[in-house]
Amino acid sequence: MNLATLWRWRATLMAVGVGLLAAILRLASLADPHALVFDEVFYARGAYSLTELGYEGDWGKDEGEFAAGDTSGLSPEGDFVVHPMVGKLLIALGIELFGNDPFGWRVVGAVLGSAVAVLVALAARRLFRSTVWGTVAGVLAAVDGELIVLSRTALLDGFLTFFVVLGFWLLVVDRDRTRARLEAHAADQRREAELPDESLLPGPGPRLGVRWWRVAAIVAFALAASVKWNGLYYAAVLLVLSVVGDALARRDLGWRGWFSGAFRGAVPAGLATLVIVPVVYVATWANWFLTDGSYDRDWAQTHPGEGVTWLPDALNSLVHYHQQMWTFHTGLTTEHNYMSNPWTWLVQWRPTAFYFEDAPDADCGAERCVSAIHALGNPLIWWLGTAALAWAVWRIVRHRDRLALVVSAGVFAGWLPWLPYAYRTIFTFYSVVFAPFMILTLVWALRRIAQPDDLEGGWSRRGTIAVGLILAAILIVSGFFVPLWVGTPIPFRYWQLHMWLPSWV
């Protein structure tokens, strides 16, 4: 294969390389530890219940020997669960395909977690117009600890991350395709009117019809909200950003009525969102509607005249159920050793220990061996990413940097809504959903260092060396922390060497 062929296939090679790296880190020894890790006690057992009963039955408070295959604790009584269905349905898919064991619970999340790294690479390649920077972003997503841990455990946040990143990538593709169509329309209009380049154009610009990439993004965000409700924040922020991008594209290309043209396209997009999101969301509750044993399924029939009485009984019951879920979430203040304040999430101040057990049968070369899993992002990615985020905010305010806004918007969509709920029992690993956007923001900053504006696309020798050293350091740190992300038995002293901050212990 010659260089010309490699160049033509560069995007495919990038995606395959990033995907393989991510898959190795997520699929290797996926069945270990052979135990329920952190909140797998809720979601793995709930998913198994879906495969057996069609709904989530009550397991009681005793975890029993579920990891060893003992499912006798499952009761046909409907369980009060506080998150939507999609994540648990995907876990259930893995159980159906590969069996009720740790590999079965985790495999679908691991595959979709690998896909997240590929989607980050593809989105970055379009945003930065560079396969090099797309590869950098994809590799960083592949080796970040939070993304690895949440891909390797049967929790919901990894699935939420996948659908959010999928929606974002679809909007990036839509943006590029729409821009190309608008440029072609502008060129045709100037040619027909015999206007010079850069001249202003009459009217608002063309109607573009149904934009299927954007519709697909709306469906992806609806599925994100069907994993966890905070997917709605990403839908709101990123779809509004898409509309703003349309308006700015029409203005850049010279249409006098650019605002009305963008508004004309925004109205159907908004209406489509208001229809598609609730329809998809309710559809994902199909098993709840179709099974009599589901929690509160018959609430409306047993409470006539209560609730939203103009709705059909089934929907009235669902609304009441959601009111209970909302009350639970807003009132959850139970103390937990690893609860954390969202103001500290960006610097990973209090990461969550998912699993920590002595491993007396392991041969780790020390008197005491332990197996630990910490939902801790690569410290260099997050610390440098936080600095890059501050730089991006300055660039947005001072220079109206659109690219800085695009890459950082996902961080703010995922982080800011949690700040008013600092009183709640919440955890740092919730930040995994905006980890891809922290990475994109960091890559944006690294690109500006290596390719400063004054070189007009050229490479700064000093900047490139600095960026190369930073990336090498990130990879070394990831290699150092991998045992704490995948649960490999290690000497207790080696575990202690990873506790860089007192708040990590």
Tens digits of residue pLDDT in 380-399: 999 999 999 999 999 999 99
Give buried/exposed letters for 197-233 (b at 16+ CB in 10 A, else e): eeeebeebbbebeebebbbbbbbbbbbbbbbbbbbbb
pLDDT of residue 242: 95
Other CB atoms within a 10 A radius of the CB of residue 17 amount to 16
User: Tokens 């040619």 belong to which residue?
Assistant: 191
Whether 134 shows a pLDDT value over 90: the answer reads yes
Taking all residues of the chain, what is their mean pLDDT, rounded to a whole number? 93
Whether 284 shows a pLDDT value over 80: the answer reads yes
pLDDT of residue 1: 58
Q: Find the angle CA(491)-CA(497)-CA(499) to the nearest 5 degrees.
A: 115
The model's confidence at residue 129, banded by pLDDT at 50, 70 and 90, is very high
CA distances from 182 to 253, 258, 312 (A): 8, 11, 45
The model's confidence at residue 62, banded by pLDDT at 50, 70 and 90, is low
pLDDT of residue 158: 97
CA distances from 441 to 128, 174, 208, 223, 386 (A): 11, 20, 31, 25, 9
pLDDT of residue 22: 97
Give the separation between CA 143 and CA 478, rounded to whole angstroms.
Answer: 6
Whether 2 shows a pLDDT value over 80: the answer reads no
pLDDT of residue 488: 94
pLDDT of residue 160: 98
CB 19 within 8 A of CB 118: yes
Extract long-range pairs of 355-361: CB within 8 Å, 24+ residues apart: 355/33, 355/35, 355/37, 355/38, 355/487, 357/33, 357/35, 359/489
Other CB atoms within a 10 A radius of the CB of residue 295 amount to 18
In percent, how much of the chain has pLDDT > 70? Answer: 99
Q: Which two tokens stand for residue 378?
A: 């690569």
Average pLDDT over residues 344-351: 95
Give the separation between CA 31 and CA 487, rounded to whole angstroms.
Answer: 10
Whether 267 shows a pLDDT value over 70: the answer reads yes
pTM of the model: 0.95
